[in-house]
Amino acid sequence: MRYNIIDNNLYINNRKNYLEKVNQDSASVFVSNEFMPTNADETLHFVQNTNLLYLTGVDQEETFLILAPNFPDKKMREILFIKETSEEISIWEGNKLTKKEAQEISGIKTVMWNNHFENILQLILAETKEIYLDKNEHIRSNTSIQTPQDMFINEVKDKYSSYKIKRAYPILSDLRMIKKKTEIKLIQKACDITEKGFRRILNYVKHGIWEFEIEAELINEFIKNRSKGFAYQPIIATGINACSLHYNENNTQCKSGELILMDVAAEYANYKSDMTRTIPVNGKFTQRQLQVYNAVLNVKNEATNILRPGISINEYHKEVGKIMESELINIKLIDKVDVKNQDPKNPLFKKYFMHGTSHHLGLDVHDVGNFYIDLRPGNVFTVEPGIYIREENIGVRLEDNILIADNENINLMNGIPILPDEIEDIMNK
């Protein structure tokens, strides 16, 4: 592990909270992700199933977890299965977790090699009535690839067809929305690493630099600070590129007079941060750029103030739309008469601000969570309004990560420069 070991009480309590929500005569089974193949014998970088991470902290392939709260043998109520290591595996792949290491990371006392998984599962299920299985049910999930979780669900349905199968995802989604103190510290660490990368860039950007050179500087700073790297595919977008929401080719040369929109952030210990900043290539905003920038900043600040316990995300987005509408009128992109006559189902502001303002943040960048329930203390959200004016080659987005608290929100990116004067001062030192 590149990151420092995490107190396993986080995972012990996560399992305890999960088990309080399930039928006690059930078994819950969780399956790790695997390496995704590319071509020949190559694979992509391993990314763990975040529900399994949430319950165990184990960041390794070929891992299984069984939770059976009422199983007669108390030692078998929590069982972690990991890949058996060997001298040959160590030579070819590096060290894998030992049983002792897996126990220390997860807080699970019973750890077995995964070649025992099938027999133990059959033994556990003989004493249970229901099986909770894990599947990616994120509202934005849209993939045709069959995941290891999908394959395991099909196997269970085929082999144990008489059992009632229940969904683990809604339970974990609800639990993961409320971040524990340890989780908040890890997200804060990711934000702090992101800040180091951004400050480095402010002293690096100049006319003629390429977007990919900025990307290279950021990944250097992130990895140097014990991050695995980018929390998501980085967007380094200069000029008109900033008006494409998911531009990520990062292969354009930056020119004096243009803006650079950087939607880029670090992860730490699998917890994500999510930052966007927009800066002038030459270190000085033009009058029009500053006008648009301040409009976005005003929306971000107002949105942060209304992102409070008791409001739902859908209600919140409607309120942010009204704030954006007012700012767009102020910078003369729309006018009051047209707004008065607009189609309520297709408001005019969406021409210049066409995406949502906030999403949950945690082990996933677009973290699990329900958009229809009221916000609660412990939620962590992004706040990321933007204005995109293709005809002017201007795209501005600003984004911070906000912890919802009882009395006042906490900006986990409070130390990252965002005021235009501060950005100009740093860039021109």
Q: Which of 190, 135, 241 is nearest to 365 (CA)?
A: 190
- pLDDT category at 239 given cuts 50, 70, 90 is very high
- pLDDT category at 278 given cuts 50, 70, 90 is very high
43 vs 413: CA distance, rounded Å: 34
Q: Which range has highest mean pLDDT (152-156, 211-215, 347-351)?
A: 211-215
Q: Per residue in 107-144, pLDDT tens?
A: 999 999 999 999 999 999 999 989 999 988 777 767 77
The confidence score (pLDDT) of residue 106 equals 98
- Residue pair 81/65 in contact (Cβ under 8 Å)? The answer is yes
Q: Per residue in 384-398, pLDDT tens?
A: 999 999 999 999 999
User: Among 139-148, 267-276, 308-317, whose mean pLDDT is lowest?
Assistant: 139-148
Average pLDDT over residues 217-222: 98
The confidence score (pLDDT) of residue 391 equals 96
**In 187-234, beta strands by DSSP E:** none
For residue 228, pLDDT over 90 is answered with: yes
Q: Where are the domains of the chain?
A: 9-177, 181-427
For residue 50, pLDDT over 90 is answered with: yes
For residue 181, pLDDT over 90 is answered with: yes
Higher pLDDT, 369 or 194: 194
181-427: what CATH class?
alpha beta
- pLDDT category at 92 given cuts 50, 70, 90 is confident
- Residue pair 44/36 in contact (Cβ under 8 Å)? The answer is yes
Average pLDDT over residues 134-156: 83
Domain 9-177, architecture per CATH: 3-Layer(aba) Sandwich (3.40)
* Token pair 């500053």: residue: 290
Average pLDDT over residues 160-173: 94
The confidence score (pLDDT) of residue 290 equals 98
Output the average pLDDT for the chain: 94
Cα-flanking dihedrals φ and ψ of residue 117, to 5°?
A: -60, -50
For residue 1, pLDDT over 90 is answered with: no
Average pLDDT over residues 301-319: 94
* Token pair 């008489």: residue: 162
Higher pLDDT, 245 or 143: 245
- Residue pair 301/293 in contact (Cβ under 8 Å)? The answer is no
Average pLDDT over residues 185-211: 97
CB atoms within 10 A of CB 322: 11
- pLDDT category at 35 given cuts 50, 70, 90 is confident
SS3 of residue 130 by DSSP: strand
Tell me the pairing of strands 130-133 and 164-167.
parallel
Q: What angle do CA 131, 133, 134 make, to 5 degrees?
A: 165
Q: Which of 18, 39, 42, 20 is nearest to 29 (CA)?
A: 18
The confidence score (pLDDT) of residue 343 equals 86
Q: Name 411's bridge partners.
A: 402
